[in-house]
Structure 1
Amino acid sequence: MSELSPVAADLVRGVVGLGTVVVLPLGLRLLGDRVVPGSRSVWWPLAGLLAAVSVWLPVGLPAALLALPFAAAAVELALCAARARSFATAVALATPLVGAVALVAERAGRGLVGFSGDYLALTVPHMLFAGFGACLVVGLVAHASDTRLTRTAAVAAPAGVLLVLLGYFVSDAAELVGAVVLTVGLWCAAAATVGLVGSVAARVPLRVGAVTIVVSMVLALWWAVGEATGLAHPSLSWMATTHGVANALGFVLCTLLGLRLLPGSPEPTGLTYPEIGATQAGPLPTGYRHLHVRHLLAPGSTPRDVSVLGDALLRWHVHEAARIELLRDGPQAVPGVRVVSRIGVWPVRLSEPCEVVWVERVTDRVGFGYGTLPGHVFRGEEAFTVERDDAGDLWFVVTAFSVPDRWWVRLAGPLTVVGQRAYLRLLARGARRVLAADRHSVGTMA
Structure 2
Amino acid sequence: MTVLVHAVVSLGMLIVVPLGLTLLPTRTTSNRWWFAFAVPGAVALWLPRGAVSIVLASIYFVGTLVLIALAARHFFQHRTLSTRQVALYTALVTPSIAALALVAERSSYELFGFNLTVLSLTVAHFHFAGFAAALMAYLAADGLAAVSVPLGTAIVLLGFFLGDPVELAGAVVLTTGMWLVGWNLWKRSRRTDRTTAILLMVSGSVLVLTMLLAVSWALGHVVNTPYLPLEWMVATHGVANAVGFGLCGVLAMRREGSR
The answer as to whether partners of 2:40 and 2:59 remain within 8 angstroms in 1 is yes
- Matched with 2:38 is 48
- Alpha-carbon distance in structure 2 between the residues aligned to 1:230 and 1:168: 20
The answer as to whether partners of 1:21 and 1:46 remain within 8 angstroms in 2 is no
Residue from 149, 153, 178 that aligns with 1:186: 178
The answer as to whether partners of 1:194 and 1:210 remain within 8 angstroms in 2 is yes
SS in 2 for 1:163: helix
- Matched with 2:250 is 256
- Matched with 1:35 is 26
Q: Does 1:66 align with 2:66?
A: no
SS in 1 for 2:112: coil
- Matched with 1:409 is none
Deviations 1:230-253 (A, max 9, x none): 322111111111100000000011
5+ unaligned residues in a row in structure 1: which ranges? Answer: 1-7, 143-149, 266-446
- Matched with 2:134 is 135
Identity of aligned residues (%): 41
- Matched with 2:92 is 93
SS in 1 for 2:222: helix
TM-score where L is the length of structure 1: 0.54
Residue from 22, 25, 33 that aligns with 2:18: 25
- Matched with 1:222 is 216
Higher relative CO (Cα under 8 Å, sequence separation at least 6) belongs to 2
| Aligned ranges 1:286-301 → 2 under 5 Å | none
The answer as to whether partners of 2:98 and 2:122 remain within 8 angstroms in 1 is yes
- Alpha-carbon distance in structure 1 between the residues aligned to 2:57 and 2:257: 36
| Aligned ranges 1:96-115 → 2 under 5 Å | 96-115=95-114
SS in 2 for 1:30: coil
SS in 1 for 2:47: coil
Aligned-partner residue type, residue 53 of structure 1: V
| Aligned ranges 1:292-441 → 2 under 5 Å | none
Deviations 1:70-123 (A, max 9, x none): 100111111222326610111111111111000011001111111121000110
Larger Rg: 1
- Alpha-carbon distance in structure 2 between the residues aligned to 1:257 and 1:112: 34
- Alpha-carbon distance in structure 1 between the residues aligned to 2:224 and 2:122: 22
Aligned-partner residue type, residue 18 of structure 1: L
Deviations 1:182-231 (A, max 9, x none): 00101001101111121112111100011111111011011010011132
Count of aligned pairs between the two proteins: 248
Moved over 3 A (4+): none
The answer as to whether partners of 1:35 and 1:80 remain within 8 angstroms in 2 is yes
Q: Shift of residue 263 of structure 1?
A: 4.8
Residue from 119, 144, 147 that aligns with 1:155: 147
Q: Which has the higher strand share?
A: 1
- Alpha-carbon distance in structure 1 between the residues aligned to 2:222 and 2:254: 38
Q: Which has the higher helix share?
A: 2
TM-score where L is the length of structure 2: 0.92
The answer as to whether partners of 1:198 and 1:263 remain within 8 angstroms in 2 is no
CA RMSD of aligned residues (A): 1.4
The answer as to whether partners of 2:23 and 2:254 remain within 8 angstroms in 1 is yes
- Alpha-carbon distance in structure 1 between the residues aligned to 2:69 and 2:257: 29
